[in-house]
Chain A
């Protein structure tokens, strides 16, 4: 396994040493949480609480707004003090429920199932649905949808994505060290739901301890294989991971299910276990708060809805040199302008970068056709041509160069010696033409 490595990719400095040795600790409970009703790809939730209503920890506050959606729950016990529009980390304004924490940590009644592995797949699926689980790697795609492939698309493999190829982030790494058994239980639940006998955990080999921990946990478990994968960004991109582990290539415009594979994130698998075993909804997650711009990098277990400012404060605050704060990793995350935005189900990290670490956005020069981006593109595209077409406004031309196969991993812009904002130009082009 791992012999069919994808082409392209880059080796950015991973900077994981800042937080890799910090065990996961629980973040201090916040005074209030802001729970956006849309934390996932798909239809937003509908609020089912009213202002002044008392809610318990784990109680549903927003019900799923459709099939491609996931309910949201209170992450603290307390009182709903506002339902209104608040900014999220991506700069969008989202309907959110604000709950004041009464610090009592009173749980809603959860459906405990010690014998969860004996439950029929449909019941397990129901638990995952009720828990509001979404992909926790960043894209936040509702897990239930991935677990409900159409009949004509059989699945034969589940892959857990432990590559955590984004620089700086160490949340999945810590989780694999600290909760390997639970993660594998989550994988087994996923396999059962999908009726699959083959499960893989793919981990980049720059994390030997995680590979070891997961291998030990997987010992004697039928059908489960832990694979160390070569370290290369974006190893953790779904299509790249599938290629590295199974040798299958997801065709353009197709989904992993088209090559009979479902990929889930490490954190997601852990959440699936917690949902199946304890009936616990997805109300907290591991967030790496790191970067040279933050005083004490940490891996924190954070209640969904906690404000970024609260976490940064807990990590000793920002250094004076901090110039950019990112929600997610530095390759694909979002720069945030104000720190009073909530952590959501998809927030894998908060990275504060200093001047030395930042790519300057303003100053770029013309493409010199060096071809570095072409060599780096894991999708086999020609980012140089895409960026030139987009820059000149020839969006249809960009389409001919397979514009919509780009998933914006940023490898091209990372290697570009002219510092061209290639991803930005590609996104402009995507917004201007129909796929």
Chain B
């Protein structure tokens, strides 16, 4: 009896799957960074868009050329190279020359990701390795911070120091003095009107994107909350010179790359633990290392190195925090 026109597909169950795909996740995360990019363009001018765009183009092209050369399946449509480029761009200072994004993208996509086997096999966050490589190779270019202006004339903007730089070199009192008063300082940090990497300054725009990711379930609270919570605690206890429990946690959370790092970089699936309890440990580690570097290290900012160091431990953490097997009594 012929009642089927075409041969039936036979495969193993389950026969239905969710609509979620890797590329949809990547594009959604990219979209969630849009508010921060808008603020970046507003404060740092068209140059910000150019730099970030260059990172994205170079990242996607790097992946395309690498996969073509090695006759691998071209996966640029999955959005992960795009996201890597976007994040790298958002982690660069506003005034870098054009070859910086290109070199950074190459390191991020080819050295960090593709050489290790492509998406899913990289040990380190590609965008952060790209940035770390640039920081070490071009320490001067990577630490020139331009003053934000809302006037779209950022090409000849004045250079200045980041709030964290001022905090490290001249202390908290000077920082507050520069911004007028404490409340004004907080407001400016929240809105993003301060020197810093292109996409890290506007805490409020980043938080809007993060809320979207949390709502959609693309990230969970485990890593960001433990990351920020640990940082805040350490900032409060050890943040002030000469006295315990006198530091300013708000200042630390809102400055540097803390928000960008905690919600968008440390939560990278591939390079963070996949078990929830492990993610909390991972976040605590990130927070601890960030504050260690900020308070005791040579750099004013520690988010990047903290996440990269914790990336190494992600597989180990997953091993140690295996999920609880149903029916197995806890020892």
Contact = CB atoms under 8 A, between A and B. Distances in A.
A243 B119 CA distance: 38
A21 B304 CA distance: 58
Interface in A383-404: 384-385, 401-402
Interface string B94-127: 0000000000000000000000011111000000
A313 B18 CA distance: 30
A333 B15 contact: yes
B3 A313 contact: yes
Contacts of A377: 323
B3 A368 contact: no
A336 B10 contact: yes
Contacts of B75: 365
By CB atoms of chain A within 10 A, which of B11, B118, B270, B324 has the most? Answer: B11
A371 B16 contact: no
Nearest to B80: A368
A114 B10 CA distance: 47
Given A309-B3, A330-B14, A414-B14, A369 B327 contact: no
Interface in A237-283: 239, 243, 249-252, 254
A225 interface: no
A321 to B, nearest CB: 10
B20 A381 contact: no
A375 B22 CA distance: 17
Given A318-B4, A324-B9, A250 B327 contact: yes
Contacts of A7: 326
What is the interface of chain A mostly: helix, strand, loop, or mixed? Answer: loop
A55 interface: no
Interface string B270-287: 101111100000000000
A254 B328 CA distance: 11
Contacts of A173: none
B8 interface: yes
A159 interface: no
Q: How extensive is the interface on chain A, given as a class?
A: 35 or more
Interface in B13-49: 13-18, 20-22, 24-25
Contacts of A359: 14-17
Contact of B15 (A324, A367, A382): A324
B16 A12 contact: yes
A413 B14 contact: yes
A361 B17 CA distance: 10
Nearest to A402: B325
30 contacts: A243-B326, A313-B3, A318-B3, A322-B4, A322-B8, A325-B8, A326-B13, A331-B13, A331-B16, A333-B15, A335-B11, A339-B1, A357-B15, A365-B75, A365-B120, A366-B120, A367-B120, A368-B119, A369-B120, A370-B25, A371-B275, A380-B324, A380-B328, A381-B323, A384-B274, A405-B325, A410-B13, A414-B18, A417-B24, A421-B11
Interface of B: 1, 3-18, 20-22, 24-25, 75, 78, 117-121, 269-270, 272-276, 318, 322-329
